Amino acid sequence: MGDLELKPLAGYTAFPGPLVTVIMDGMGIGPGDESDGVHMAYTPVLDALEIEPLFTRLKAHGTAVGMPSDADMGNSEVGHNALGAGRIFSQGAKLVSEAIESGKIFAGRAWDEVCRRTGQGATLHLIGMISDGNVHSHIDHLYALLERAAADGIQQLRVHGLLDGRDVGEKSALSYFEPLEKKLAELSTNGRDYRMASGGGRMVTTMDRYEADWTVVENGWKAHVLGEGRNFSSATEAIRTYYKEDPKLTDQYMPAFVIEHDGQPVGTIEDGDAVVFFNFRGDRAIEISRAFEEPEFKPFNRKRVPDVFYAGMMQYDGDAHIPQNYLVEPPAFDRTLGQYLCAQQVTSYAISETQKFGHVTYFWNGNNSGYIDEKLEKYVEIPSDKITFDLRPWMKAAEITDAVISAVKSGKYKFIRLNYANGDMVGHTGVVPSIRIAVETVDLCLGRLLNAVSAAKGVAMITADHGNADCMWTEKNGQRSPMVAHTKNPVPFIIKDYADTNRFALHLPDTPGLSNVAATICNLLGYEPPPDYDPSLIRLF
């Protein structure tokens, strides 16, 4: 076991059942008013847990999860990274900002190849989400790429912009696209030709994840690469037109569009071009990267596959090397909780539905795909529904619960972790009745699950990775606007001990956060945490 060996926790008595860790995705602790979907929902199970002695609040945003500042919201990726790594690492947005500030982003082989290709008359294509949500991308990073491209003599550049409406205001696209188009026009001097080429809403164009719906990526391929789609003279014209045609349409679901001039698309991707996908977060960047890089690609008919140099802002999957080329080195995670538990021969079980399956596996394990030790671990994915989640807010919580109850009863697994996606995925829709149903679904399923843990004489740990459902809308001048982004609210942390073989008490650091959970899991399983892990939230007495 070498340097992954953990010391036994003195005075600890083993308990018969499993430790079950429940991540209630997107269910933070809100203001407790009408805007708070968790508060407004009927949640008798959570209400009872909140008066447990082992209850506290954890910070799940900003510097507590490796983001640049406490002005930055958390997200599922960094939240699960922190939960599984036990320490705080500089994360995507911060890494990219630091690389831009230091110039390292432009000093590597990838940017050199971009400049070499475009120096031969080819076009640089920048694809990514246009917002300052700082969850998948940041518009400042795009502006830095534009400025450097101009400084390095790149003459022809096209931007393929994806609308957010999820990590920022649901109809805020014009506040980003208008200044962007103005910026591109300003840079189009001295022989430079910088323009928008295509776009579309993130939930229907390009940014699918976990292979939930490949048609989303196909929509992006058609618009970005082939120039196929509804034509407009500018991105702002497209956005205004779609708003006018459907006043209820929000940015994240806006259909794809193509910018044309004289009846021809202005930015198809051709042989010899360079393409940079400038999102930094991995989950919604992997599939489009595969479409550009895989020779034997089967999810959809690409029709035409240009010979391009493709690079991501970061490498989105280190194990699978997706993409092969990237501008910024990803965070280097080592000695994750999963590695330590496997080294101690602890059996484990991880489950969620498609939308969050990668979070309880890939992100929990430090951005590493696959099993750490397949003999000790079991990963289960429940396929998500291909429907907007406000229409089916219960999602797959019941199926997940059924599977976990079976795993608990089997006695095969000492450590079980699961993610209920409802609070986050339905929270992103901004539909108030659906959000309340989503939260109530999680509460109902949690009650069933706790009964099984109690019968097995196990221990349950309940927390969340960030907030979302805890703020359904904001109000200004008497007008309510749906709040579809993550919140910066704290998240609950609860331990319910049905085994009653040990006596634990809260022992909190000055600012308890998600990164303290891994050490706490070590204690609950009878081990001293690694010395460089952020401290446990409990002590044995």
Q: Which residues contact 311 (CB under 8 A, 6 or more apart)?
A: 110, 113, 114, 274, 275, 276, 277, 323, 325, 326, 327
Within-domain flag for 317 = yes
Within-domain flag for 139 = yes
Note the pLDDT of residue 514: 98
Beta carbons within 10 angstroms of residue 300's beta carbon? 14
Judge if 171 and 130 occupy the same domain. yes
Question: Where on the phi/psi map is residue 366: left (φ > 0), alpha (ψ -120 to 50), or beta?
Answer: left
Judge if 439 and 457 occupy the same domain. yes
Within-domain flag for 13 = no
Domain boundary among 328, 351, 371: 328
Query: Does residue 188 have a pLDDT over 90?
Result: yes
Average pLDDT of the segment spanning 301-316: 96
CATH of the domain at 274: 3.40.1450.10
Domain boundary among 289, 310, 328: 328
**What mean pLDDT is reported for the chain?**
95
Element (H, E) at 496: strand 491-497
Query: What amino acid is encoded at 393 in this protein?
Result: P
pLDDT in tens, 363-376: 999 988 899 999 99
Average pLDDT of the segment spanning 456-483: 95
Judge if 315 and 400 occupy the same domain. no
Judge if 189 and 277 occupy the same domain. yes
Domain boundary among 328, 353, 387: 328
Q: Which residue has the higher pLDDT, 193 or 120?
A: 193
Measured distance CA(294)–CA(291) in Å, rounded: 6
Contact by Cβ (8 Å): 128, 200: no
- Of all residues in the chain, the percent with pLDDT exceeding 90 is 89
Number of domains in the chain: 2
Query: Does residue 152 have a pLDDT over 60?
Result: yes
Judge if 106 and 217 occupy the same domain. yes
536 is catalytic: no
Within-domain flag for 509 = yes
pLDDT in tens, 236-262: 999 999 999 999 999 999 999 999 999
Within-domain flag for 442 = yes
Query: Does residue 81 have a pLDDT over 80?
Result: yes
Contact by Cβ (8 Å): 58, 512: yes
Within-domain flag for 470 = yes
For residue 2, what pLDDT band results from cuts at 50, 70 and 90? low
Within-domain flag for 12 = no
Judge if 311 and 339 occupy the same domain. no
Note the pLDDT of residue 1: 42
Element (H, E) at 22: strand 19-24
Judge if 525 and 453 occupy the same domain. yes
pLDDT in tens, 372-398: 999 999 999 999 999 999 999 999 999
For residue 484, give its domain range: 2-6+18-90+332-540
Average pLDDT of the segment spanning 143-169: 97
Spot the catalytic one: 76, 97, 198, 348: 76
